[in-house]
């Protein structure tokens, strides 16, 4: 007889969600079965809050999501922010100043728990948002709003098509690594880069803020040890979480670094690999 984990933590894009960004009926049912069995399912994602509303009915009765790469714990049912982490404004200025000096053509964006701000030159890929969010350089929004949770840096010379690619073409991969190396040099110790699979996009988090730290704090509140946590992921920004959890599991389509470090590998995300593994677990209890 197999003992159920007390918490299942799963990444979304490329892991739990299919390529169309949706939760399949099969996955939806397995998540409901876990909730009924008393297992808390927590989504742990780089997505900001505004990209999560349509998933509220899939996260179980508690409705909690760790988002913005670990910078925010959100109650989807109520819309309440339960926990938030962010840069202090001096660190943001240091990060922005470093990037402006080393990569003057980079376009920046600030993610906050209450919204987003973009440089005027940042690609407009979210047409439903207020055009005013692109009106001024992002650093001009400091002091007028809450703390910045994540800084995004994009090189307009290498703007990729929208999407997440586990295995980008070699030309794109090399350009991306060159850009990432320049960003790391520019930001120094003021931020760390968390790669979630968005090609060409540098996602910068405050020091000490990642998926693992946020999940560990949340599980401590629940009185759950790492040994009683199963975690699923596909990209390098999932590695700290997979390493921290008692069982860290990769989907078959995961990044090579994740496949190499995982305790186990399950099916492709388009074949409901996470759900099938959890459904099998439930039958063994």
Rounded average pLDDT over 249-253:
97
Note the pLDDT of residue 247: 98
CA distances from 229 to 18, 113, 215, 275 (A): 23, 26, 10, 16
Does 24 map to a domain? yes
Task: State which residues form the domain around 53.
Answer: 7-85+210-283
- pLDDT tens profile 125-167: 888 999 999 999 999 999 888 899 999 999 877 665 555 455 6
Note the pLDDT of residue 173: 78
- pLDDT tens profile 183-210: 999 999 999 999 888 778 999 999 999 9
Does 1 map to a domain? no
Does 12 map to a domain? yes
CA 270 – CA 252 distance, rounded (Å) = 10
Q: Residues with Cβ < 8 Å from 173, sequence gap 6 or more? A: none
Does 171 map to a domain? yes
Note the pLDDT of residue 66: 97
Q: Which stretch of DSSP H or E encloses residue 27?
A: helix 25-36
Is the pTM higher than 0.85? The answer reads yes
**52 and 11 part of one domain:** yes
CA 206 – CA 225 distance, rounded (Å) = 25
Note the pLDDT of residue 161: 56
- pLDDT tens profile 8-40: 999 999 999 999 999 999 999 999 999 999 999
Kindly report the CATH number assigned to the domain that includes residue 72.
3.40.50.1000
Percent of the chain with pLDDT over 70: 96
Residue 1 has pLDDT above 70, yes or no: no
Opening angle at CA 132, ends 127 and 134, nearest 5: 75
**115 and 180 part of one domain:** yes
Domain end (from 171, 205, 239): 205
CA nearest to 17, candidates 26, 4, 8, 7:
26
Total domains in the chain come to 2
CA 265 – CA 250 distance, rounded (Å) = 5
**98 and 24 part of one domain:** no
């Amino acid at each position: 007889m197999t003992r159920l984990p007390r918490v299942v933590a799963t990444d979304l894009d490329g892991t739990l969600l299919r390529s169309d960004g949706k939760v399949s009926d099969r996955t939806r049912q397995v998540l409901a079965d876990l909730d009924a069995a008393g297992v808390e399912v927590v989504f742990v994602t780089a997505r900001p809050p505004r990209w999560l509303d349509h998933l509220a009915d899939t996260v179980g009765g508690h409705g909690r999501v760790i988002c913005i790469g670990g910078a925010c714990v959100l109650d989807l049912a109520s819309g309440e922010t339960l926990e938030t982490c962010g840069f202090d404004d001096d660190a943001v200025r240091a990060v922005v100043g470093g990037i402006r000096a080393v990569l003057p053509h980079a376009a920046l964006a600030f993610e906050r728990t209450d919204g987003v701000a973009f440089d005027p030159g940042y690609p407009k890929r979210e047409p439903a948002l207020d055009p005013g969010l692109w009106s001024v350089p992002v650093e001009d929004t400091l002091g007028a709003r809450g703390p910045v949770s994540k800084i995004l840096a994009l090189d307009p010379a290498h703007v990729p098509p929208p999407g997440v690619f586990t295995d980008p073409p070699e030309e794109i991969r090399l350009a991306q690594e060159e850009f990432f190396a320049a960003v790391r040099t520019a930001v120094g110790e003021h931020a760390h880069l968390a790669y979630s699979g968005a090609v060409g996009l540098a996602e910068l988090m405050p020091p000490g803020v990642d998926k693992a730290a946020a999940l560990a704090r949340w599980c401590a509140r629940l009185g759950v040890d790492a040994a009683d946590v199963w975690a699923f992921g596909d990209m390098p920004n999932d590695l700290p979480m997979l390493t921290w959890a008692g069982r860290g599991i990769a989907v078959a389509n995961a990044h090579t670094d994740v496949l190499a470090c995982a305790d186990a590998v399950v099916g492709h995300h388009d074949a409901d690999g996470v759900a099938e593994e959890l459904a099998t677990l439930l039958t063994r209890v």
